[in-house]
Amino acid sequence: MCDFLELMESVKLEIKSIKTLKELDTFRIKYLGKKGYISSKMIQLRNVSLKKRKEISSILNRFKTNLKSNINEYKQELEKQTFCKVLEKDSIDVSLVGRRNSIGTLHPVTRMIDDIENFFLKLGFGIVRGQEIDDDYHNFDALNISKNHPSRTDHDTFWFDSNRLLRTQTSNMQIRSMIKMKLPIKIIVPGKVYRNDYDSTHTPMFHQIEGLVIDKNINFSNLKWIIELFLNYFFYKNINIRFRPSYFPFTFLSSEVDILGDNNKWLEILGCGMVHPNVLNNVNIDSEIYSGYAFGLGVERIVMLRYGISDIRIFFENDLKFLKQFK
């Protein structure tokens, strides 16, 4: 019995010298493993008397039970110490300024398109979207653009082959809509368009919104009213607007629309006009019965005017500091 108590005290001291969980597991195997101290002592009991065997086996079982309890307690203590060291190493100073992932925001061009769409939806316009790759007929021929027009050259247009191209205006969808839709027609066509140009005020890809109304008894006064209503809404105030005669192959009468800036200078804002009779006839609409107007504007351009942005290329640089200014 005395030997047993001495052994337990010795084992307790040995446990306290252990610093890691790995060392503790080695210690456990030493005493409780299949070839450890307890097992070897149990094997030796075969050679002693029954009375002595019962006495010693009782002592060994108590030793085994106490040792397991001590090992488990010390294991929990070591695990706690290890966890505290990890926490100390990776501690978080809650007084520090937090680090957050920057989230994106709607692009000002997207916001502007949504705003314009909502304006025209309230006036009963439908929204038409469509293909950015089209053919020569829908992008040029049906719009009364002659074969020798400069916009057909490689300097202005991205061609895939002699017939297919990246559309240069959303008017291609006006043609397709007039072919497919029933009269009367009242639509706007937002979307990307492509032209071979790049500087501070031009990019190879930009966004355009065109409007089209086809019905009986449509005249230029209807067109002027819708343009004036839209521009006053867009710039949040009544502004000075002038319609200046111009030329577009697909409209007649044609006009450029200017607004008077804060510097008392006129600034071109969009183009518009009455749909050319040839365009109506190209899509089998009787120009003797029906008439219509069309208008088109570059979205980036009017965003630049609204917010005083001088370089169109900043729209494509994905600078969050710039983009988050627009709410």
- State the DSSP code for 145: -
- 137-172 confidence digits (pLDDT tens): 999 989 988 888 888 887 788 999 889 999 988 999
Q: Which of 83-87, 90-94, 194-198, 225-229 has the lowest mean pLDDT?
A: 90-94
d(CA 248, CA 19): 88
Q: Tell which wins on pLDDT, 9 or 80.
A: 80
The arithmetic mean of pLDDT across residues 177-202, rounded, is 86
pLDDT value for 77: 84
- 13-70 confidence digits (pLDDT tens): 777 788 888 887 888 888 777 777 777 777 777 777 777 777 777 777 887 788 788 8
Best CA proximity match to 259, nearest among 225, 305, 298? 305
- The domain spans of the chain are 2-89, 108-323
Q: Where are the beta strands (DSSP E) in 164-307?
A: 164-166, 185-194, 205-215, 241-245, 251-260, 266-275, 291-298
Query: What are the phi and psi torsion angles at 325 (to 5°)?
Result: -70, -20
Class of domain 108-323: alpha beta
pLDDT value for 56: 75
The strand pairing partners of 133, in sequence order, are: 166
Query: What are the phi and psi torsion angles at 205 (to 5°)?
Result: -125, 135
- 192-251 confidence digits (pLDDT tens): 999 887 766 677 888 999 999 999 999 999 999 999 999 999 887 788 999 999 999 899
Is this model's pTM higher than 0.85 or not?
Answer: no
- CB 234 within 8 Å of CB 277: no
Compute CA 25 distance to the chain's CA centroid, rounded to the nearest angstrom.
53
Find the farthest-apart pair of alpha carbons in the chain and give their distance in angstroms, rounded.
Answer: 128
For the record, the structure tokens of 226 come out as 């819708």
